Structure 1
Amino acid sequence: MSQYDRLLFAGDPHGNFNALITAVHKHRPEAVVMLGDYDLEQPLETYLAEILDLTQVWWIAGNHDFETPCKYHNLFHSALAHKSLHLKVTEVAGLRIAGLGGIFLGRVWYPPQVPKWRNKQEYLEHQAAHIKNADMSLKYRSAIWHDEFEALRSLKADILVTHEAPGSHRHGFAVIGELAAAMGVKHIFHGHLHENYTRIIKQHIHVFGVANRTVTNLRGQIVSDIKACHDFSY
């Protein structure tokens, strides 16, 4: 196994995990990190049963994972729920990986605009009683909240994995690159936009976009045998 294959990154599977499963059997990585948008009709472990004894599985959530209560439950209440990397730094395959799941949502915060709400508590305090006393909607749970984003700045990591893209992509956000620089990150891997590409941004940070149903290694090289479908239904 190449040192670069010890950790693999899987782009949005949208219900089809064949590329990831094939890559794990072929390369036997220490761990895999999935970048969101699973579209789960069953619990996550059901799809990955074939590889759970072969490698560690880590993940962040994408916008599709909040679309329905079923999809949400099958991820956040799955047997792999504790493998979320969101809003923390975790050592995986000898590297410190920081995770940022979800998306920027106009009704919460859409950089470079100022946040509409500083945090979830402020949002809830301004809602009607029936909303204030209920669980936050899935749409709002999918959002990147400004205070949680800012809290990551105080942490240090080698790699940042996100669903949203940094400013390296035409649909990306410069604040993600700024966050990575503050954290001392050298590599960013992201999904969501269904494109394979490599860019270098400020502070010499390497950005790797990972297309849907594609798996890459630590150098951003595609290691999956199944060609990605380059649609933009994100």
Structure 2
Amino acid sequence: MNPNNRILFAGDPHGNFKPLVAAVQEYEPEAVVLLGDYDLDKPLEYCLREIADITEIWWIPGNHDFETPTKYKNLFHSALADKSLHLKVVEVAGFRIVGLGGIFLGRVWYPPMPPKWKDKAHYLNSQKINNKSVELSLKYKSAIWHDEFQALKALKADILVSHEAPGSHRHGFHVVGDLAAAMNVKTIFHGHLHENYSTVIKRHIHVHGVANTAVANLRGNTLMNGNELITE
């Protein structure tokens, strides 16, 4: 195996898992990491049943995964629910990978503006004045919360996988690069923006955007772009 193919990173499937399945069957990586936006009408393990015995499967959530109760349940209550990398560092195929799922939401925190709420409890307590049984809606569950984001800075990792992009992209956020630098991350992979690209930001951190239904390896090389298999 090419060592760069030990881990593959899959851009937003939006319901089309065939390119990822084909890439895993071709390269047989030790692990795959999915970068969000699955649009699941069935549980995630069903969509990936063809590769479950070939590779480890890890994921972070995207904004689409909170759009409906069905999409949410098919991810967060799937048989692969414990394979979420969101807000944790996990050793995967010899690399420490940290996940940051969800999106920046104006009603919660939209950098560089200060956060609207200190944390989820602050928000929920403010809502309980008229409703004692208030819970986070799916929209608020999709948000990146400032306190959870800041807590990650105390950890160390080799790779950051995020749904949102760092400031390397015109629609990205510089705070994502700041997080990576604080964690001594060397490489960032992100989805969400449906674009394949590679660049370098401060601290010599390599950034790889992975387009929807595309699959990239550890070097950021695109191995699958839609249904097109790209030979190395």
| Counterpart position of 2:103 | 103
CA displacement 1:65-119 (0-9 Å, x = unmatched): 0000000000000000000000010000100000000000000000000000010
Note if contact 2:14-2:39 (Cα within 8 Å) is conserved in structure 1.
yes
What amino acid does structure 1 have at the position aligned with 2:190? H
| Counterpart position of 2:141 | 141
Identity %: 68
Cα distance, 1:130–1:223 mapped onto 2, change above 3 Å: farther
| Counterpart position of 1:189 | 189
**Alignment partner of 1:215: what SS?**
strand
How does 1:1-234 map onto structure 2 within 5 Å? 1-129=1-129, 131-224=131-224, 226-227=226-227
User: Deviation at 1:128?
Assistant: 3.7
What amino acid does structure 1 have at the position aligned with 2:204? H
Cα distance, 1:135–1:204 mapped onto 2, change above 3 Å: same
**Alignment partner of 1:161: what SS?**
strand
Aligned length: 228
Tell me, in whole angstroms, the C-alpha distance in 2 between the residues paired with 1:192 and 1:207. 14
Tell me, in whole angstroms, the C-alpha distance in 2 between the residues paired with 1:168 and 1:135. 35
CA displacement 1:182-218 (0-9 Å, x = unmatched): 0000000000000000010000000000000000000
User: Deviation at 1:225?
Assistant: 5.6
* TM-score between both structures, scaled by the size of structure 1: 0.95
Note if contact 1:216-1:224 (Cα within 8 Å) is conserved in structure 2.
yes
What amino acid does structure 1 have at the position aligned with 2:81? A
C-alpha RMSD of the superposition: 1.1
* TM-score between both structures, scaled by the size of structure 2: 0.96
Unaligned residue ranges in structure 2 (runs of 5+)? none
Tell me, in whole angstroms, the C-alpha distance in 2 between the residues paired with 1:94 and 1:132. 46
Tell me, in whole angstroms, the C-alpha distance in 2 between the residues paired with 1:141 and 1:61. 10
**Alignment partner of 2:224: what SS?**
coil
**Alignment partner of 2:153: what SS?**
helix
Cα distance, 1:197–1:131 mapped onto 2, change above 3 Å: farther
Unaligned residue ranges in structure 1 (runs of 5+)? 229-234
Tell me, in whole angstroms, the C-alpha distance in 1 between the residues paired with 2:100 and 2:130. 30
CA displacement 1:36-60 (0-9 Å, x = unmatched): 0000001000100000000000000
User: Deviation at 1:227?
Assistant: 4.5
Note if contact 1:58-1:85 (Cα within 8 Å) is conserved in structure 2.
yes
Tell me, in whole angstroms, the C-alpha distance in 2 between the residues paired with 1:38 and 1:149. 23
| Counterpart position of 1:231 | none
User: Deviation at 1:224?
Assistant: 1.4
